[in-house]
């Protein structure tokens, strides 16, 4: 039985206050090789390798096209959104991935936004590796609020209530927005349920979602989660804190 989130302590679901700690997606190696590595180039391309320790080779089960097997080329039309990238990874029998601070339609091309450069990194067995967004290229800071549903065969589901969003955007010019999306990961459905202007440059802004003692509007359906996003039209740096509660149950 799913318990009401209001019964759970109100607590920070996430606090992002440093550049380049906004997670774009998480990847995991689930193949049979002894070792696996992931690399993100300066252009945002992702290379996947597997094999013996110190002798890993590109994994051709992932390929965005062209002459670079084992590489997702984010300038390729088949992989220039985060939705396409995560689907391509999950189509391989050797890898799994899911989105964290990104929407499926978010662009991955380095000219408009991409992942942070990462040198070749060896993955711990069966453990998620976080790939971070490059905040000098991506004009948003985003927080995933809630739990994953049906992970590792679990039927546990969650629901999230937001109580407040506190943000400070240090952009130099342009506009600032706060958005909330409800995400149905099973259906690849992303619905914007809230949008309002954020604070002025360097001014802390708090938006409250409490009504009659519980979260209102900023609430996910059972089995879904929320994505809270601060957007700058020209630049987006600063901090984003999301306060809420998550209920878990069957």
pLDDT at 68: 86
Do 29 and 107 lie in one domain? The reply is yes
pLDDT at 146: 85
User: How many distinct structural domains can be found in the chain?
Assistant: 2
73 CB contacts (<8 Å, ≥6 apart)?
A: 45, 64, 65, 66, 79
Average pLDDT over residues 149-176: 77
pLDDT at 101: 94
pLDDT at 215: 60
- Separation between Cα atoms, residue 11 and residue 80, nearest integer Å: 35
pLDDT at 1: 40
> 89: domain range?
23-132
Do 94 and 155 lie in one domain? The reply is no
pLDDT at 165: 94
Do 9 and 43 lie in one domain? The reply is no
Report the CATH number that the domain containing residue 203 is assigned in CATH.
Answer: 2.60.120
Do 77 and 119 lie in one domain? The reply is yes
Give, in order, the Cα–Cα distances in Å from 156 to each of 5, 112, 143, 151, 224.
14, 37, 21, 8, 12
Average pLDDT over residues 152-179: 80
Give, in order, the Cα–Cα distances in Å from 80 to each of 28, 114, 115, 121, 144.
21, 9, 12, 23, 22
Residue 169 has pLDDT above 80, yes or no: yes
Residue 73 has pLDDT above 70, yes or no: yes
| 98 vs 222, residue with greater confidence | 98
Do 46 and 118 lie in one domain? The reply is yes
């Amino acid at each position: 039985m799913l318990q009401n989130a209001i019964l759970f302590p109100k607590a920070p679901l996430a606090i992002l206050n440093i550049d380049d700690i906004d997670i774009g997606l998480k990847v995991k190696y689930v193949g049979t090789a002894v070792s696996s590595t992931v690399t993100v180039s300066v252009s945002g391309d992702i290379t996947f390798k597997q094999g013996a320790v110190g002798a890993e080779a590109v994994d051709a089960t992932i390929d965005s096209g062209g002459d670079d097997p084992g590489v997702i080329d984010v300038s390729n039309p088949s992989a220039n959104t985060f939705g396409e990238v995560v689907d391509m990874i999950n189509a391989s029998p050797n890898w799994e991935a899911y989105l964290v601070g990104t929407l499926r339609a978010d662009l991955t091309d380095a000219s408009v936004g991409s992942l942070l450069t990462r040198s070749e990194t060896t993955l711990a067995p069966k453990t998620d590796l976080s790939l971070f967004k490059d905040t000098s290229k991506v004009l948003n800071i985003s927080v995933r609020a809630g739990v994953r549903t049906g992970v590792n065969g679990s039927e546990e589901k969650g629901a999230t209530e937001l109580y407040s969003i506190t943000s400070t955007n240090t952009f130099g010019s342009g506009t600032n927005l706060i958005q909330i999306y409800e995400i149905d990961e099973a259906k690849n459905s992303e619905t914007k349920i809230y949008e309002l202007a954020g604070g002025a440059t360097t001014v802390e802004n708090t938006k409250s979602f409490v009504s009659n003692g519980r979260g209102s509007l900023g609430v996910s359906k059972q089995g879904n989660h929320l994505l809270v996003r601060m957007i700058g039209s020209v630049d987006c740096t600063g901090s984003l804190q999301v306060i809420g509660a998550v209920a878990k149950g069957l």
